[in-house]
């Protein structure tokens, strides 16, 4: 959530910045509700003071042996009105909270202004796309050998956007996840975590999936208990510090997890229906950092670099893109996307997204750190990034390392996880 001070003291400027994200803030309506809140809060405080004053007068009267019945009746009337006022104030505050929960984070000043992905700005490229001397196959054609990649069986089991992997391709998929985890934990300093795939609504709200994106989530209900399948391990990892105060010497807290991820892809009908590009169930190695506010943008650069190293060690050409205001995720203030080269599409496709959310998620989660200079708790900054998407890395390896006979050369970095195999065929 945004700082309430922005909505009270800098409403016009906040609305202007939100507009660059395609979010229209009804300033007049919010000002009207805020005026109601101030009025109700002032009246409530006055009633509380009046009740306290009259209660003291009752004590004095009784102490003197005087008749306090009139004062008692007045206090009872004040109590009834106070209760009604408190309920009215709570309703207004709930309305303001609902509005605040629907607002995206403010874009950082370095984020380019734009409406969609066409406004993104390329930062740099690494690697040279391979020149093939034969007709390039896409990952679906390559995976058809021996039924390694089977969308038909996935559809039979679960419906569209599910896939079954078999044999050496399934092993290569597993090898990628193991390689990424080992790299991030041994070389990049992330703590490996194994986290729940099912979380409660508080966790989803803490990282911004609820209430705005409920239609994109899978949920389970057992009795009266509702839990959500995580769309990314970011949810579980970031919520570890929910309602906690982290000591300064523990920051930055860097965590990594390999997990299944579940997304209903409700807004993506008709997009990337072929193969594994956009699945309801997929795997990802997620990176999360909990940082001091003064260090979060340096941590953002570091996290993005950690994801880049994955692609470089795999020998996959990629480019880094700074997302514009209209293409960033709901909770992000600044985002770098890494896009990997896919020969079959002759273009770069997203494989990692690294975002600094500043204190936006922390305010929802009441996640804080103790500033040693003041001794007081302050909101942390939260960051998350893909390090990287396992399924899309598999696609990139298949296509970039394919051979004319349909076999796939195993990148050197993965061979220790593949029993030393140099190719799969």
Which residues line the annotated binding site for ATP? 263-265, 350-353
What's the confidence (pLDDT) of residue 269? 58
What's the confidence (pLDDT) of residue 271? 61
- 350 catalytic? Reply is yes
> Cα separation of 272 and 260, whole Å?
20
Residue 197's CB is within 10 A of a number of other CB atoms, namely 15
- 278 catalytic? Reply is yes
What's the confidence (pLDDT) of residue 270? 60
Categorize the per-residue pLDDT at 146 as very low, low, confident or very high, splitting at 50, 70 and 90.
Answer: confident
Helix, strand, coil percentages, rounded to 5, for the chain: 45, 20, 35
Choice among 171, 263, 302, 368 that is catalytic: 263
- 353 catalytic? Reply is yes
Residues 6 or more apart whose CB falls under 8 angstroms from that of 135 comprise none
Choice among 296, 353, 355, 399 that is catalytic: 353
Residues 6 or more apart whose CB falls under 8 angstroms from that of 370 comprise 245, 246, 247, 248, 376, 377, 378
Residue 373's CB is within 10 A of a number of other CB atoms, namely 7
- The angle that helices 296-313 and 167-186 make with each other, rounded to 10 degrees, is 140
What's the confidence (pLDDT) of residue 77? 83
Choice among 31, 141, 214, 350 that is catalytic: 350
> Cα separation of 291 and 298, whole Å?
10
Which residues line the annotated binding site for L-serine? 232-234, 286, 386
Does the structure show a pLDDT above 90 at 275? no
> Cα separation of 35 and 53, whole Å?
27
User: Using the 8-state DSSP alphabet, how is residue 108 labeled?
Assistant: P
Which residues line the annotated binding site? 232-234, 263-265, 286, 350-353, 386
Residues 6 or more apart whose CB falls under 8 angstroms from that of 315 comprise 127, 400, 411, 412, 413
230 closest CA partner among 212, 210, 256: 210
- The angle that helices 27-63 and 11-19 make with each other, rounded to 10 degrees, is 140
**pLDDT tens by residue, 86-117:** 899 999 999 999 999 999 999 999 999 999 99
**pLDDT tens by residue, 286-300:** 999 999 999 999 999
**pLDDT tens by residue, 54-70:** 788 888 877 777 787 78
- Tell me the whole-structure pTM to 2 decimals: 0.92
> Cα separation of 403 and 132, whole Å?
9
Choice among 37, 125, 242, 278 that is catalytic: 278
Contact 103, 97 (CB under 8 A): no
- 244 catalytic? Reply is no
What's the confidence (pLDDT) of residue 70? 81
Q: At 33, is the secondary structure helix, strand, or coil?
A: helix
Max mean pLDDT range (39-43, 73-77, 110-114, 212-216): 110-114
């Amino acid at each position: 959530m945004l700082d309430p001070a922005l909505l009270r003291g800098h409403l016009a400027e906040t609305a202007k910045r939100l507009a660059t994200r395609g979010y229209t803030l009804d300033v007049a309506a919010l000002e009207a509700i805020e005026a109601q809140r101030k009025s109700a809060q002032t009246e409530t405080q006055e009633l509380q003071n009046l009740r306290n004053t009259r209660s003291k007068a009752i004590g004095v009267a009784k102490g003197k042996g005087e008749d306090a019945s009139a004062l008692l009746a007045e206090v009872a009337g004040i109590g009834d009105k106070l209760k009604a006022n408190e309920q009215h104030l709570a309703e207004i505050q709930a309305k303001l909270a609902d509005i605040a929960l629907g607002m995206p984070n403010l874009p950082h000043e370095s984020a380019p202004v734009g409406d969609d992905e066409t406004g993104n700005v390329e930062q740099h490229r690494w690697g040279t796309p391979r020149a093939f001397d034969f007709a390039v196959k896409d990952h679906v054609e390559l995976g058809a050998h021996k039924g390694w990649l089977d969308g038909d069986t996935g559809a039979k089991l679960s419906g569209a956007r599910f896939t079954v992997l078999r044999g050496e391709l399934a092993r290569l998929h597993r090898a990628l996840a193991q390689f990424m985890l080992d790299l991030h934990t041994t070389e990049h300093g992330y703590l490996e975590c194994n986290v729940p795939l099912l979380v409660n609504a508080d966790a989803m709200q803490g990282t911004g999936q609820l209430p705005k994106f409920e239609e994109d989530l899978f949920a389970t209900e057992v009795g009266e208990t509702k839990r959500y399948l995580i769309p990314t391990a970011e949810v579980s990892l970031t919520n570890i510090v929910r309602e906690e105060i982290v000591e300064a010497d523990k920051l930055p807290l860097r965590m990594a997890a390999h997990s299944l991820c579940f997304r209903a892809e409700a807004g993506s009908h008709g997009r990337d229906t072929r193969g594994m590009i956009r699945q309801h169930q997929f795997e990802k190695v997620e990176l999360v950092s909990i940082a001091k506010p003064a260090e979060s943008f340096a941590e953002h650069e570091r996290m993005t670099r950690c994801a880049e190293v994955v692609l470089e060690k795999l020998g996959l050409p990629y480019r880094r893109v700074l997302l514009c205001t209209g293409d960033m995720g709901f909770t992000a203030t600044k985002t770098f996307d890494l896009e990997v080269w896919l020969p079959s599409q002759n273009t770069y496709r997203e494989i990692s997204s690294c975002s600094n959310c500043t204190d936006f998620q922390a305010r929802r989660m009441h996640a804080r750190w103790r500033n040693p200079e003041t001794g007081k708790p302050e909101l942390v900054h939260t960051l998350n990034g893909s390090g990287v998407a396992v399924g899309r890395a598999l696609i990139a390896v298949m296509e970039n390392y394919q051979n004319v006979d349909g076999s796939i050369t195993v990148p050197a970095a993965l061979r220790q996880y593949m029993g030393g195999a140099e190719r799969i065929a």
